[in-house]
Structure 1
Amino acid sequence: MAAPEGGHGRGEGRADREKYGRLLGHAGRATVAVCPPPGASAHPAQLWGSGVFVAPGWVLTCAHVLAAGDGRRRPTGPGGEVGVAFDGRVVAARLEYDLSRPAPVRPSGEDEGPGPDDAGPGAEPEPGPRVDLALLRLLDPGVVHPCAWLSDQPAALLEDAFIFRGHDQAAVDPFIAVRFGARDARGLQFGSDVRVTPGASGGPLLDCDRGEVVGIVKGSHREDLVGLAVPVTELRRLAPHHLVPGAAGLGEDPYHALMCGHDRWHWAGQDLGGPGEPTWFDAQHAIMSGRGRLWGVQERLQALDLLASLPAPRDPLVVGAAVAEALGRADPAGRTGRAGPWTLRTWRDGHGALYQGSDPYTELCAFVHYLRIVAQRTADEARGVPGDEGAEARAAAERLALFVTAKAVVLLPRDRERIGPVRRRPDAVLVEFEPLYYDDAGGRQLFNWSVSEGYGQGQWQRVEVQEAHGGMTFEQARDQVLQRLGPRLLRADDAAGGVRVRLEVAVPEERWHTPADRWRVPASTRRTARLRPLGPARAVVLRDQGRRQEVDPAWLRRWEGLAAAGRLTALRVPAGVRASASGLSRLLEEADEGAVPALCRSVAEGVGQEAVGWTLDTGHPVALWVAEGHGARDCDRACDEFHREVRQLLGAPKAVAEIPELVRELRAKAAEGGASWARDLVLLYDDPGNPIPQLFAQGAQLSPS
């Protein structure tokens, strides 16, 4: 196959091949040919293009390499096998992810729902552009091969860049220097005097100044003849919907899994007792030495390995918030264009966003600050995760914290003081209504109220308290709360990195029918902002005002049972038309460990209210009912539909912690005209691992440690 044609240009003259020789050698060994599967004809004319190893068992290439000139998929072997040729052999691989597959389109009407900020890990919330990238997986996981180093930052204007020539056996050098131009909607542009042959498509575009692969060569533009490459940052679009039918894939967050495999592989290459061959790190170190950087390739290599051992960020917005805090900016990076290539999806992406071209000391401060934030945030979230998963996350966060401490010793005292405290991020806002007494004149129950920010494990900080001596009616207390709640929620969301924190409302027995999800607060801080119901946009749950920091054993036992249950089940309460107190007690006491009580009757009075009382007395921490359930009449078809839908709802979550978000999604659908049965749905969600604080009338004041 012919090599790229044209002159070498200014980049060739500047490039010191002796200096970059080791780097080009590593890139060449990590570059493969994509071809028919083993056993098929291996004539060079049948080579389809190139690719590059990016993680153990994974090859990154262009999606169009797997298509013939007429656009049809190339013929493959059994099970869709293709070939990957390297080191004089051809091994079998399979297409696993195709980023040129269209994103799923939202049903009409969903644009007014919670919006893209509510998408889960790896999700692409709105249809985005197709990307000419694909991932192949080697069928034999035991194949040993090198991996290229993928950049963790967007490509900049460079002079010393190289592209892979293609698989021309007659070529003396597999790489050719190019002039690297700008980036536009088509991708990265390089020298117009170089024509890319089909065999070079899918190969790496190498930035020699940084010693990284910054793009995947795509081809030449037909009109202006510039060379084009897909930025490797486009991999941040990788999502579950790109998985081809029948492929095993990388799980719920494939991009995070792929890049963790990449970073761990490169760190493992520095192990003592290794094969003794130069690594990609060795080549980068030779290039970067003498540049006076305090955060060099060694620090980057170790930091990215430590970040790869952490759980994935709960939401990409928290990565942007951590970057903004580390850089001292007001607006988190990556808040907009969430599905775009500039979005910060993982902790690794946040690390790459810290290279700002500032002086070496300022850059060092930014990296130390960012990693400290990440370590603290991970430790905070891991405290609420039970079992081995939580223990592993806490241990990984501690290793990162120790690394940060070691790197911070060279900082000036004022910067150690500034970076030391890490602002805590709330994961919930709690509204409490405390019943006081009944007034003598009207026989009305009076209340005080408070608002707290929660940090998990029973750590709360009260941010507003109304503690009038005479109290007020529940309606008056609720109206005062709603006047203040909007700004409180917005501030908590901002402190949490733009994530909508959960609203928890603690009410006494007579107020279990409170539809807090339908409360309306401003959607922004603008005076003209519309009042919108809370339930469709954020998780809203009720808590029992009587359950506090001294956890009842039955409450704890029931929660642990739900957490350990392989499957959650709906328990219809009450089961009969006339339910006696003893019958309710026995039904709820004898329920299995995975049971979640569900009530279709009114809980404001009568049997329904009594049923909720027994639900709490028997320790159940989670229950569902409707705010305006029916009274003493018999159940009808609407009740049957409610219980049928609740059974389906509880069959979906893998863990009890997922229920609040699933209920929020139902409320969002109900707000758009679907799932009408969930319009009045109330969720009791009382986690004994995160009990509400003691009564504020007693003077207790808890704050995060």
Structure 2
Amino acid sequence: MATSEERAHGRGDRARYGQLLAHAGRTTVALRAAPDAPDPRLWGSGVLIAPGWVLTCAHVLAASDGRRRDLGPDGVFGVAFGGRLAAARLEYDLSRPDPAAGPGTARADLALVRLLDPDTEHPCAWLSDQPATLLEDAYIFRGHDRPGTDRPPRTDAAHERVVRDGGGVRAAGDAAEADGAGEAGGAPGAPGGAADPFTPFIAVRFGARDARGLQFGSDVRVTPGASGGPLLDCDRGEVVGIVKGRHQQDHVGLAVPVTALRGLGPEHLVAGATGLGPDPYHALMGLHDRWHWSGQDLGRPGGPTWFDAQHAIMAGRGRLWGVQERLQALDLLARLPAPRDPLVVEAAVGEALDRGEGPGAWALRTWRDGHGALYQGSDPYTELCAFVHYLRIVAQRVADEVREAPGEAAAEVREHAAHLAEFVQAKAVVLQPQDRRRIGPVRRRPRSVLVEFEPLFYDDGGGELFNWSVSEGYGRGQWLRVDVQESDGGVPFEQARAQVLRRLGARLLRADGDAGPGARVRLEVAVPEGHWHTPADRWEVAASTRRTARARPVGPGRAVILRDQGRREEIDPAWLRRWQRVAVAPALHALRVPPPRRDGAGAAAGSADGVWRLLEEADDGAVPALCHTVADGTGRDAAGAALDTGFPAGLWSAAGHGERSCDASCEEFHRGVRELLQGSGSLARLPELVRELRAKAAEEGAHWARDLVLLYDDPEDPIPQLFTARPQVSPR
């Protein structure tokens, strides 16, 4: 039996959390048949998380035999909350397999439901921005299974009796309940023996987080119909999971962490749904965070908000970065564009935490996710420094990307970045002088160094001549030219390359230092057609700034990519469309491109149209792979066709073969490329994966990998318009 001290502690928790529990009960909904359907039975629960949006488990929308529920016309069903039954429809299903993804692609038992009436007013729960930790006081809620009822969660004495045993807390009487039908688990007890669908019950702290999700103790019974409802961590005042059920073998309770929503992408949109645009996760969490901030507006009608409840339970904890700072920071972050690359978020978090890498244990997709990665359990002052530093970096990065961009949209982004910077400045006034100096101003940190060779064609029968330049890149087409060789005459390619290499080592080292501790900026090399086989990763540059420094190959130590110099003039729509499609593809795969045949006169014939169709009809995750040389002949024709059909990335061998037939070395090359892409994940990680492969090849002697060339052309970060004055020449 629980001691009197334990019972008093339980009553104190309920009093302190009462307002929060009431909010959680009001945001929990019931999913059932359409408003005009005769069957009123409860399917499961969900939670309101943004205006017009409900988060639930995907399996709630399937019957016990796995088929879809009996939905109304156009897939309409009912969502009961606040004494009413609203019409709704499934929009996103994170559990369904993506045909374009490879085997073993991660899926989550989550679904997003849209309320069909856009004017429906309702409360919203607060979704945690950080991974769940040990649960001390956590509750599971079940939706109202009868429209027309709207009672708050019960906290009467019968449900304040708790037993604390074996490392957790369980509701009194739970262990005696029989399993319910239709869901894993059973209902908690209620006075008179009836299950009370409105009463939360205490869940034990979970001791594991694995592929199945969050686990809580086997002594907790999951109420029939509670699947899809929220798992509330009262200590933090946040929804940390979505209840999934109880495991059949070991009987532990399971919940999907809300951070699994970070996997939401356009590929999860169901047929016929309108969705949230090309980045639904960013859009959804922006709606969530801005709604909660607007709830604190002066003069706004209504009672206490979820934030008020959070603020009440967190008061007196001595946090310098409290729930009010979080509320405002996430609203300001929600107004910014989504980061163009998740690696930018990880880098900002790593810098704010004074380490050279991001968290690594979980994916960070948005600025909000980065904010959630900063709760490190450190002392309040150190935590405050981390948040101020991170937000300062974000404000500077976003401002840099649109600093010179024209138009009203860019001006609005600059304004929002300035508001974030002002907020950071206000929070930084309590920092020690040395920390204020360390955190600001944020240096403009380069992401890459670009070497561009510009061909100069003459009609006098002479050789091909080049100008060259070196620029530092900051993303979104923002470049700073730091070195240039420009003249009317130019120099041959090998001479231009030698001139670049004499200065490139020092330039890369300087950019690394500016990029931050342990950073290695990417080397990008833009070459024209005829030089697509350039093995820039094997270029040797000075390893230090010493006058007699040894030269080392650049490829094993940093990502090296090739860019097409001919794409500098303007952004071709086919290129941009293909980039946007492959950038969000959940998995990449190799597309082996055969070179078009040539007739005796040297003109493309026979399979040229077939190669073109192969490229045009390729799916989103395809990356062209060629074993023929791209320097000339049919291999160059095939690479040109890939670029003309918009492909932003391709893999080929610097020492590819000519017109002879493929042999065993070709098969080794294509097998290696297939294996590389199968585990690559997103396109954004491909340059680093190729670098790792090159480093491994340098040690183990894999010839095909040592000769691998990666074309990687981002139209959203186009190479600069460098040369303003060019000689008037005509092509040969």
Q: Structure 2 length normalisation: TM-score?
A: 0.66
CA distance in 1 between partners of 2:555 and 2:30 (Å): 58
CA distance in 2 between partners of 1:294 and 1:682 (Å): 44
Deviation at 1:247, TM superposition (A): 1.3
Match of 1:140 among 91, 114, 117: 117
Sort the Cα spacing of 1:165 and 1:688 in 2 relative to 1 into closer, same or farther, 3 A.
closer
Q: Is contact 1:453–1:461 with CA below 8 Å preserved after alignment?
A: yes
Match of 1:26 in 2: 23
Q: Is contact 1:202–1:218 with CA below 8 Å preserved after alignment?
A: yes
Match of 1:366 in 2: 386
Q: What number of residue pairs does the alignment pair up?
A: 568
Question: In structure 2, what residue type is equivalent to 1:193?
Answer: D
Match of 1:410 in 2: 430
CA-to-aligned-CA distance 1:370-403 (integer Å, 9 cap, x gap): 0011111111112354423322222211111111
CA distance in 2 between partners of 1:49 and 1:486 (Å): 62
Q: Which secondary structure does the structure 2 equivalent of 1:199 belong to?
A: coil
Question: In structure 2, what residue type is equivalent to 1:283?
Answer: A
Match of 1:244 in 2: 270
Within 5 Å, give how 1:573-584 maps onto structure 2. Answer: none
CA distance in 1 between partners of 2:716 and 2:349 (Å): 34
Match of 1:56 among 51, 54, 57: 51
The reply to whether residue 665 of structure 1 matches residue 690 of structure 2 is: no
CA distance in 1 between partners of 2:613 and 2:711 (Å): 11
CA-to-aligned-CA distance 1:636-692 (integer Å, 9 cap, x gap): 44797499679969xx9xxxxxx8994433557999599xxxx99999999999433
Within 5 Å, give how 1:104-183 maps onto structure 2. Answer: 104-105=99-100, 127-165=104-142, 167=144, 171=196, 174-183=199-208
Match of 2:409 among 389, 404, 410: 389
Greater mean deviation of Cα atoms: 9-18 or 298-307 = 9-18
Question: In structure 2, what residue type is equivalent to 1:282?
Answer: D
Question: In structure 2, what residue type is equivalent to 1:542?
Answer: Q
The reply to whether residue 505 of structure 1 matches residue 526 of structure 2 is: yes
Sort the Cα spacing of 1:39 and 1:371 in 2 relative to 1 into closer, same or farther, 3 A.
same
Match of 1:278 among 283, 304, 321: 304
Deviation at 1:419, TM superposition (A): 0.5
Q: Is contact 1:485–1:521 with CA below 8 Å preserved after alignment?
A: no
CA-to-aligned-CA distance 1:51-110 (integer Å, 9 cap, x gap): 000111110011111111122211100001111001111111111111111134557xxx
Sort the Cα spacing of 1:42 and 1:384 in 2 relative to 1 into closer, same or farther, 3 A.
farther
Sort the Cα spacing of 1:41 and 1:478 in 2 relative to 1 into closer, same or farther, 3 A.
same
CA distance in 2 between partners of 1:444 and 1:538 (Å): 26
CA distance in 1 between partners of 2:480 and 2:284 (Å): 37
The reply to whether residue 431 of structure 1 matches residue 451 of structure 2 is: yes
CA-to-aligned-CA distance 1:456-495 (integer Å, 9 cap, x gap): 7775253x7899xxx9853254257579869977997994
Q: Is contact 1:517–1:540 with CA below 8 Å preserved after alignment?
A: no
Match of 1:292 among 311, 315, 318: 318
Match of 1:3 in 2: none
The reply to whether residue 86 of structure 1 matches residue 81 of structure 2 is: yes
Q: Is contact 1:458–1:693 with CA below 8 Å preserved after alignment?
A: no
Deviation at 1:199, TM superposition (A): 1.1
Match of 1:102 in 2: 97
Q: Which secondary structure does the structure 2 equivalent of 1:40 belong to?
A: coil
Question: In structure 2, what residue type is equivalent to 1:310?
Answer: L
Deviation at 1:228, TM superposition (A): 1.4
Sort the Cα spacing of 1:73 and 1:458 in 2 relative to 1 into closer, same or farther, 3 A.
closer
Q: Which secondary structure does the structure 1 equivalent of 2:649 belong to?
A: helix
Match of 1:691 in 2: 721
Match of 1:612 in 2: none
Q: Is contact 1:313–1:346 with CA below 8 Å preserved after alignment?
A: yes
CA distance in 1 between partners of 2:603 and 2:132 (Å): 64
What is the RMSD of the two structures over their aligned residues, measured on CA atoms?
5.0
Match of 1:451 in 2: 470
CA distance in 2 between partners of 1:640 and 1:691 (Å): 33
Match of 1:263 among 289, 307, 326: 289
Q: Is contact 2:597–2:608 with CA below 8 Å preserved after alignment?
A: no
CA distance in 2 between partners of 1:381 and 1:641 (Å): 40
Q: Which secondary structure does the structure 1 equivalent of 2:281 belong to?
A: helix
CA distance in 2 between partners of 1:196 and 1:27 (Å): 17
Deviation at 1:176, TM superposition (A): 1.1
Question: In structure 1, what residue type is equivalent to 2:325?
Answer: E
CA-to-aligned-CA distance 1:597-617 (integer Å, 9 cap, x gap): xxxxxxxxxxxxxxxxxxxxx
Q: Which secondary structure does the structure 1 equivalent of 2:88 belong to?
A: strand
Question: In structure 2, what residue type is equivalent to 1:692?
Answer: L
Q: Is contact 2:395–2:421 with CA below 8 Å preserved after alignment?
A: yes
CA distance in 1 between partners of 2:256 and 2:448 (Å): 40
Q: Is contact 1:307–1:347 with CA below 8 Å preserved after alignment?
A: yes
CA distance in 1 between partners of 2:540 and 2:215 (Å): 41
Question: In structure 2, what residue type is equivalent to 1:147?
Answer: C
Deviation at 1:428, TM superposition (A): 4.6
Question: In structure 1, what residue type is equivalent to 2:254?
Answer: L
Question: In structure 1, what residue type is equivalent to 2:722?
Answer: I
The reply to whether residue 221 of structure 1 matches residue 218 of structure 2 is: no
Deviation at 1:275, TM superposition (A): 1.1
Match of 2:494 in 1: 475
Sort the Cα spacing of 1:97 and 1:517 in 2 relative to 1 into closer, same or farther, 3 A.
farther
**Identical amino acids, percent of aligned pairs:** 60
Q: Structure 1 length normalisation: TM-score?
A: 0.69
CA distance in 2 between partners of 1:202 and 1:93 (Å): 15
The reply to whether residue 36 of structure 1 matches residue 33 of structure 2 is: yes
Match of 2:640 in 1: none
Greater mean deviation of Cα atoms: 14-23 or 317-326 = 14-23
The reply to whether residue 184 of structure 1 matches residue 184 of structure 2 is: no
Deviation at 1:165, TM superposition (A): 4.7
Q: Is contact 2:539–2:555 with CA below 8 Å preserved after alignment?
A: yes
Q: Is contact 1:312–1:346 with CA below 8 Å preserved after alignment?
A: yes
Question: In structure 1, what residue type is equivalent to 2:565?
Answer: L
Q: Is contact 1:236–1:343 with CA below 8 Å preserved after alignment?
A: yes
Question: In structure 2, what residue type is equivalent to 1:177?
Answer: I
CA distance in 2 between partners of 1:486 and 1:182 (Å): 50
Deviation at 1:434, TM superposition (A): 8.8
Q: Is contact 2:477–2:716 with CA below 8 Å preserved after alignment?
A: no
Sort the Cα spacing of 1:228 and 1:628 in 2 relative to 1 into closer, same or farther, 3 A.
closer
Sort the Cα spacing of 1:389 and 1:499 in 2 relative to 1 into closer, same or farther, 3 A.
farther
Sort the Cα spacing of 1:173 and 1:68 in 2 relative to 1 into closer, same or farther, 3 A.
closer
CA-to-aligned-CA distance 1:546-583 (integer Å, 9 cap, x gap): x9xxxxxxx8xxx6xx79xxx679xxxxxxxxxxxxxx
CA distance in 2 between partners of 1:347 and 1:684 (Å): 22
Deviation at 1:294, TM superposition (A): 0.8
Match of 1:195 in 2: 221
Within 5 Å, give how 1:605-684 maps onto structure 2. Answer: 636-637=604-605, 641=609, 662-666=646-650
Q: Which secondary structure does the structure 2 equivalent of 1:304 belong to?
A: helix
CA distance in 1 between partners of 2:350 and 2:714 (Å): 36
Sort the Cα spacing of 1:498 and 1:31 in 2 relative to 1 into closer, same or farther, 3 A.
farther
Q: Is contact 1:99–1:133 with CA below 8 Å preserved after alignment?
A: yes
CA distance in 2 between partners of 1:14 and 1:241 (Å): 47
CA distance in 2 between partners of 1:661 and 1:418 (Å): 48
Where does the alignment leave 5 or more consecutive residues of structure 2 unmatched?
1-5, 150-193, 544-550, 576-594, 621-642, 657-668, 674-708, 726-732
Within 5 Å, give how 1:322-333 maps onto structure 2. Answer: 322-333=348-359
Q: Is contact 2:574–2:646 with CA below 8 Å preserved after alignment?
A: no
CA distance in 1 between partners of 2:432 and 2:79 (Å): 51
Match of 1:519 in 2: 535
CA-to-aligned-CA distance 1:193-229 (integer Å, 9 cap, x gap): 2211221111111111110000111112223322211
Question: In structure 2, what residue type is equivalent to 1:271?
Answer: D
Q: Which secondary structure does the structure 2 equivalent of 1:16 belong to?
A: helix
Sort the Cα spacing of 1:71 and 1:106 in 2 relative to 1 into closer, same or farther, 3 A.
closer
CA distance in 2 between partners of 1:384 and 1:519 (Å): 34
